[in-house]
Amino acid sequence: MYGILIIGAGEAGVQAALTLRQQGYQGQITLLGDESGRPYERPPLSKQCLLDGSDAPLISGSQQLEALNIQYRNGQRVVAIHRNQQQVELASGEQLPYERLLLATGAQARTLTIEGMPAEQVLTLRSRGDAERIRQRARPGQNVVMIGAGFIGLELAASLRTLGLEVTVLESAERILQRAVPASIASLIAAEHQQQGVEIRCQSSVEYASSTDYGYQLHLLNGERINADWVLAGIGSVPNTHLAQDAGLNVDNGIQVDHCLRTSDPMIFAAGDCARFPLDLYNTEVRLESWRCAREQGEIAALNMLGANTIYNVAPWFWSDQYQLGLQMVGLPIGVTQEVIRDFNGSRLVFLLNAHQQLVAACGVGPGNTVARDIKIAERLINQGLHPSAEQLADTSISLKSLLK
């Protein structure tokens, strides 16, 4: 009895291991992770952990791994998958057999090289260790330049500004969060950053850096210069697919899986940030970097490794916290032809409809958790494929709940 082997002890891997036991699976479960310590949550790394120096909270349920007879082995890097023998190879040379294998290897931060700036002055954030390095580096009054105005970049900008650093955000696109949220939401977030004293420069890219007596100066392509004690790059991430690729599995910006999260080898599944999967709700294939998607896919992969044929087909959901603002979004902005704005009590919801007047995505921002309830309703509207009219969505005298069937 070789059991089930899981590579990657993040959100997806831990959830898969726990689900296998919850489903009554009695065989051996081995969870291999290449990081040290217990499995931890990543989202707080750019938020609370930076602000107060606290440790990342452990992934819920991961304290029970041993009690559930799940063998958790940290600090173990898998270097190869030998599919013919159904074995994986660890960096130590140890070979471990499997009946079913789950790849939950996540992603890594895309790195950035700036000519004239030593690599150790350009930091990225993905792991607990990265957060610790940023925390140790940050001192009030320093000039830090954040390259990239995606979610992680803006969360870092907000946290570092709150810690008293002078923060400049450089974004090569025309606006912040260009691919992620509608302009009418992005403008509110940009305004909050500006109010807090963060300088945002769009359509700006670094050409090279030069050192000065007091730090570095970044030379932008448009000829401008900015002082920087150090730089943070938040320019996206790269899925960890090399193991899958070397083993001959199909890989294309993520490990390709079918509706049941099975790779091109029926004994091997993939879930979370490393997986690219078909999403019928949008008639597309995607790879997401979303906490909830990783958890849900971990669960579904576990069910399917036990023989079920459960499909992952729900509207993706994501959140971000910056200063006191809570942002949530659900769905994918695919085929959008109309945006409907619903403003209420200092919060804004934006609904995105396609040419068939079908709600495909919704995004909301406001103080604290104010948009959470409405985004939850929008999620149900999307998952049920409902067609609320633009007038109904915009009219704050009509409760969103009443639009559910």
Binding residues (CB under 6 A) for ligand FAD: these are: 7-13, 32-35, 42-43, 45-46, 77-78, 104-107, 125-126, 152, 240, 243, 272-273, 289-292, 294, 318-320
With respect to ligand FAD, which residue has the nearer C-beta, 218 or 293? 293
Q: Least CB distance from residue 207 to ligand FAD, whole Å?
A: 27
Closest by CA to 275, choosing from 362, 266, 283, 260, is: 260
Q: How many residues does the chain have?
A: 405
Distances in whole angstroms, Cα of residue 290 to Cα of each of 101, 179, 316: 22, 15, 8
Q: Two tokens at 358?
A: 């079908």
Minimum CB distance to ligand FAD, residue 315 (Å):
13
Q: How far is the CB of 221 from ligand FAD (least distance, A)?
A: 28
Decide whether 234 or 388 has the Cβ nearer to ligand FAD.
234
- Asked whether the beta carbons of 112 and 123 are under 8 A apart, the reply is no
Nearest to ligand FAD of 108, 313 (CB atom): 108
Residue 401, helix vs strand vs coil:
helix
Q: What is the rounded CA–CA span in Å between residue 270 and residue 25?
A: 19
Dihedral Cα 246, 249, 252, 253, nearest 10 deg: -60
Amino acid at 143: N
Beta carbon nearer to ligand FAD, 163 or 226? 163
Taking the complex as a whole, how short is the minimal distance between the CB of residue 16 and ligand FAD, in angstroms?
Answer: 9
Residue 54 per-residue DSSP state: P
Q: How far is the CB of 34 from ligand FAD (least distance, A)?
A: 4
- Torsion angle (degrees, nearest 10) of CA 369, 331, 334, 170: 40
Q: Which is nearer to ligand FAD, 157 or 218 (CB)?
A: 157
Please report how close the Cβ of residue 105 comes to ligand FAD at its closest, in angstroms: 4
In contact, 186 and 197? CB cutoff 8 Å: no
Nearer to ligand FAD, 125 or 315 (CB): 125
Distance in Å, CB of 38 to ligand FAD, minimum: 11
Residue 357 DSSP class = S
- CA-based nearest residue to 405, from 374, 382, 384: 384
Which CB atom, from 45 or from 382, has the smaller least distance to ligand FAD?
A: 45
For ligand FAD, the closer CB: 261 or 353: 261
341 vs 348: CA distance, rounded Å = 7
Identify the CA nearest to 162 among candidates 138, 132, 131: 138
Q: Find the shortest distance in angstroms from Cβ 239 to ligand FAD.
A: 9
Tokens of 99: 């009946």
